[in-house]
Chain A
Amino acid sequence: MPKRTFSLALLAAAGGLAAMLTLAVAAAPALAQGRAAPPPTMAIDDQPGYQPSAEEEELAPAWQRQLVFFRTTESPGTIIVHTAERFLYVVLGNNRALRYGIGVGREGFQWQGLKTIVRKAEWPDWTPPAEMIARQPYLPRFMAGGPGNPMGARALYIGGTVYRIHGTNQPQTIGHAVSSGCFRLVNHDIIDLYDRIPVGTRVVVRQAPEL
């Protein structure tokens, strides 16, 4: 079994490569500290009208859309949202899923269970709810859909609730708990998701266990 000797340990033998990695990884723990625990809410107000640059919409690798190993008994096509991880999965079957990084608003933490996508919209309009107006009186009462709209490029409406999976004009909120909104994806991701997901798709939302 010659590979046993090499498995993983090969890196150490890879000379300069290993040295580079050692340096890089040694710095990493501090950055990643506490990532498994839900970080505190990101205090950020909506910024209607703000249009992020392409660079801003380029997410860190962990939050980029990617194929991942994912075992589940849910059928292919189902959306599974893990709010604590800040990931949304589209089940592909054969132990794989397409994973998107998301931001989760206060409303996104209020329920778990099984729902259905009942409606889809491109560049949805935005009507801030009364409590948001109370907190941020300068917000518009209505904003037509389009670039700069906090709802982003697409929205998937979750039946029997007021909740949506939508885009955002604040890509820096991906990976965080944010002060408002439900489940938000960066615009190029919500467009990708929108094109894959028909009305009638099952949505399973899972929250972190409560203590």
Chain B
Amino acid sequence: MQVVRLVRASLALAALSMAAVSVAAVSVAAVSVAAVSVASSALAAEPKTSPTLKAVRERGVLVCGVNQGLPGFSTRAEDGSWSGFDVDFCRAVAAAIFDDPAKVRYVPLDAEKRFTALAGGEVDILSRNSTWTLGREIAHGIVFPAVTYYDGQGFMVRTAQPARSPLEFGGMKVCVQDNTTTASNAAAFFAANGVDAKLITSPDLKDAVKAYEDGRCDAFTSDVSQLHALRSAFAAPAEHAVLPDVISKEPLGPAVRQGDEGWALIAQWVHFAMVDAEEIGVDSQRIDQALASKRPAVRRLVGTDGHLGEGIGLSPDWAVRIVRRVGNYGEVFERNVGAGTKLGIPRGLNALWNAGGIQYAPPVE
């Protein structure tokens, strides 16, 4: 274990930027494709590309760092089982590797410890509503391979009042938690747009929400996912609306350690495969139909044409395993946080790029 950590540390030094990861990824892919044509089964059985994948296979279980409890994203039931949007990403990776989404050991991590736990090798992957920033990749020697959930700061108002955009908040009072980027973002937004709104700050979230509920403010601002969660707990949710405007970037996604490009590729393509599956109409209920499909894009994704999965150390049917066991991106979104759930979050930014949002995945081809 000590040796492995040393190797990881030196690899991390060698790849301190996304650019380096990408270049390495391309060469790894090229080498793998060449190898596939010679000995595809050997490659699949013992992938040389990722030490983490090798360790996970030997252990027989994926170790995934998750939130201790966040409705819709990471929740532990009384029987000890985990569910949620972030949990489903762990399950998808396990499904891709083992064809069994249950082969995950969950490690609940608080906000403080999450990145050090990942960097220190306590978990194979972190899937815990974490915002991707350059500072975090540098400080912890980690890399965010994908954005699974585009969050951002938005506004909630009472439906009875007429404003339907923060640009129309002139003369209104907006509740916000003090000393947060949320407060400064809002102030900057109103200043930049010449909106004469007054920010009412409270030291903690509970008080800020209470101030809005008690009618001391006309609007409340926080991250959109949180606004939906707060609204769902109000006595009359229908009397409040979350406006569609988003004024900041909070790209949430899984993270892995730097220095294991093969593992970063797996995390990245697990997400891409789920998005691509939704885009081309492959879902858990129609996966067998998809296996019989003649459409080239479907055939490449489900592995009936080509062996792309082997190039990243997985099986040719890796994407089928993910979609069959866990679902495509839209299914996972709707099941955990979507319109049919208590949170009731519209797809918004997380709709596919061709359906009004910005979720966009490179093709599996």
- The interface residues of chain A lying within 8 Å CB-to-CB of B290 are 211
- Does A10 make an interface contact (CB < 8 A)? yes
Q: Report how far A61 CA is from B239 CA in the complex, Å.
A: 11
Q: Is the CB of A13 within 8 A of B205?
A: yes
* Chain A residues whose C-beta falls within 8 Å of the C-beta of B230 in the assembled complex: 11, 17
Residues in B neighbouring A68, C-beta threshold 8 A: 244, 346, 348, 356
A96: nearest chain-B partner, CB-CB:
B244
Chain A 72-106 interface residues, beta-carbon cutoff 8 Å to B: 72, 82, 85, 89, 94-97, 99
Contacts A8-B73, A25-B71, A69-B246 given; indicate if A34 touches B356 (C-beta within 8 A).
no
Nearest-CB residue, chain A, relative to B184: A3
Say yes or no: is A62 at the interface (Cβ < 8 Å to chain B): yes
B339 in contact with A69 (CB, 8 Å): no
Q: Which of B70, B83, B180, B229 is close to A29, meaning CB atoms less than 8 Å apart?
A: B83
Complex contact B233–A89 (CB within 8 A)? no
Mostly helix, strand, loop or mixed at chain A's interface?
mixed
Q: Is the CB of A70 within 8 A of B356?
A: yes
Q: Which of the residues A1, A34, A72 comes within 8 Å of B284, measured between beta carbons?
A: A34
A70 near B244: Cβ-Cβ < 8 Å: yes
Cβ of B32 within 8 Å of any chain A Cβ, yes or no, is no
- For residue B161, CB closer than 8 A to chain A, the reply is no
Total of A-B residue pairs, C-beta within 8 Å: 182
A69/B328 contact (C-beta < 8 A), A21-B342, A36-B333, A61-B238 known: no
A210 on interface, CB distance cutoff 8 Å: yes
| B324 in the interface (beta carbon within 8 A) | no
Which residue of chain A has its CB nearest to the CB of B110? Answer: A9
Name the interface size band of chain A. Answer: 35 or more
**CB-CB contacts of B65-79 with A at 8 A, as 1s and 0s?**
001111111010100
Select which of B72, B206, B289 is within 8 A of A14 by beta carbon: B206
Is B100 part of the contact surface with A, judged by Cβ < 8 Å?
Answer: no
Say whether A26 faces chain B, with CB atoms less than 8 Å apart. Answer: yes
Give B332's nearest chain A residue, CB to CB.
A36
Contact of A35 with B by CB under 8 A: yes
CB distance from B30 to the nearest CB of A (A): 31
- Distance from A100 Cβ to chain B, minimum over Cβ atoms (Å): 13
Which among A10, A22, A25, A69 is the interface contact of B341 at CB below 8 angstroms?
A25
Question: Which residues 70-118 of B have a CB within 8 angstroms of A?
Answer: 70-73, 75, 77, 83, 111-112
Contacts of A96 in B (CB 8 A): 165, 244-245
A4 on interface, CB distance cutoff 8 Å: yes
Please give, as numbers and ranges, the residues of chain A lying within 8 Å of B129 by CB-CB distance.
Answer: 7-9
Cβ of A6 within 8 Å of any chain B Cβ, yes or no, is: yes
From B223, B229, B250, B348, give the contact of A69 (CB < 8 A): B348
A53 at the interface (CB under 8 A from B): no
B70–A11 CB distance below 8 A: yes
Known A-B contacts A28-B342, A69-B348; the reply to A9 vs B67 at CB < 8 A is: yes
**Nearest opposing residue in chain B for A39, CB measure:** B285
Contact of A69 with B356 in the complex, beta carbons under 8 Å: yes
CB under 8 Å from chain A, chain B span 234-289: 237-238, 241, 243-246, 250, 252, 278-286, 289
| Closest residue of A by beta carbon distance from B339 | A62
Q: Specify which chain B residues have a CB less than 8 angstroms from the CB of A72 in the assembled complex.
A: 356
Our pick among B209, B243, B341, B358 for the contact of A28 (Cβ within 8 Å) is B341
Which A residues lie within 8 Å of B75 (CB)?
A: 22, 25-26
Q: How near does chain A come to B43, taking the closest CB pair, in angstroms?
A: 29
Given contacts A10-B226, A61-B344, A96-B244, contact A36 B330 (CB under 8 A): yes
In the bound complex, do residue B232 and residue A24 qualify as a contact, i.e. CB atoms below 8 Å apart? yes
Residues in B118-166 with C-beta less than 8 Å from chain A: 129, 131, 151, 164-165
What is the bound-complex CA distance between A11 and B282, given in angstroms?
Answer: 34
Return 24 A-B CB contacts under 8 Å, by A number: A5-B111, A5-B112, A6-B177, A7-B129, A7-B131, A7-B151, A8-B223, A12-B67, A20-B233, A21-B342, A25-B75, A29-B83, A32-B339, A35-B339, A36-B328, A36-B331, A67-B243, A67-B244, A68-B244, A69-B356, A71-B357, A89-B356, A206-B355, A209-B281
4 more A-B residue pairs beyond the given contacts A3-B182, A28-B72, A37-B286, with a C-beta to C-beta distance below 8 A: A28-B341, A69-B356, A95-B244, A211-B295
Chain B residues engaging chain A, CB cutoff 8 angstroms: 67-73, 75, 77, 83, 111-112, 129, 131, 151, 164-165, 177, 179-182, 205-206, 209, 222-223, 225-226, 229-230, 232-233, 237-238, 241, 243-246, 250, 252, 278-286, 289-290, 293, 295, 298, 327-328, 330-331, 333-336, 338-344, 346, 348-349, 351, 355-358
